[in-house]
Amino acid sequence: MLQNFTVEDRLGKRSWSCDIKGAVCCGYTGRNQDAVKKHIEELAKAGIKPPPSVPTFYPKPPTGVELEGRIFTEGMETSGEIEYVLLVDQSDIWIGLGSDHTDRELERLDILKSKQACPAPMARSLWKYGEIKDHWDQIEMRSWVAKAGGKVLYQQSTLAAMLAPEDLIRLVQQKVTGTMEGLAIFSGTFPILTEEMVFTDRFDGELYDPIMKRSINLSYTVYTLDWFRR
């Protein structure tokens, strides 16, 4: 599916189109294995079995990538996870921001299907990796959820907590036949700050570069089939 993005680099902003052929949602990709273990424990509290391997990878069809705004889900217990996103073409690596939105009820039964049951929202803005590579670990990523009529900080860390793009690309390439071009690679995430997962109708995220003083922001609303009587 052809998607239109805005690339922001040192020369300014410009439009860039990418034919998204699918996505790979990566899991348990933290550099700190203690943090990875904590995330696995979070999922276990929700009745989700530990992964068969660490890290792990889940494919999504091209219709599974949704540019920000709104998504529709059938399940009532769904939640987002803030992640950086990689797009690779013949000459560059582009960095974006997304959310691996997941059906948590279905995840207890089948993790792959739980990923494919929900669209993965992605911000429209992209950065060129070469311009931020030298200060990658200083870049901050955070998310918020709507709760009790307010906005609650849900996740917060720097990219030092996650595998670097080169490592992620190398691992995903082992699972992919052919070129990586057109694949949206969702990086995996880090632990939440709340005591348990929050199922909400609003999710916001930010990727902030303190060196270049710029941000990529992601916001989307979640709509469920509440008109259908179960």
Q: Give 195's pLDDT tier (boundaries 50, 70, 90).
A: confident
Highest mean pLDDT among 33-42, 73-82, 105-114, 209-218: 209-218
Hey, where are the domains in the chain? 2-224
Mean pLDDT taken over the chain: 91
Q: What is the pLDDT of residues 8-20, one digit of tens each?
A: 988 889 999 999 9
pLDDT digits (tens, 9 = 90+) for 147-164: 777 899 999 999 999 999
Residue with the bigger pLDDT between 50 and 193: it is 193
Amino acid at 77: E
31 residue type, one letter = R
Q: Which tokens belong to 228?
A: 């259908």
pTM for this prediction:
0.92
Q: How far apart are CA 183 and CA 205, in angstroms?
A: 21
**Preceding omega of 51 cis (within 30 degrees of 0):** no
List pLDDT tens digits, range 126-138: 999 999 999 999 9
Task: Give the CATH architecture of domain 2-224.
Answer: Alpha-Beta Complex (3.90)
Q: The dihedral of CA 36, 37, 40, 46: what is its sign? A: negative
Residue 99's contacts (CB-CB under 8 Å, 6 or more residues apart) are 80, 81, 82, 83, 120, 121, 122, 143, 203, 205, 218, 220
The predicted pLDDT at position 81 comes to 95
Q: What is the mean pLDDT of residues 172-180?
A: 92
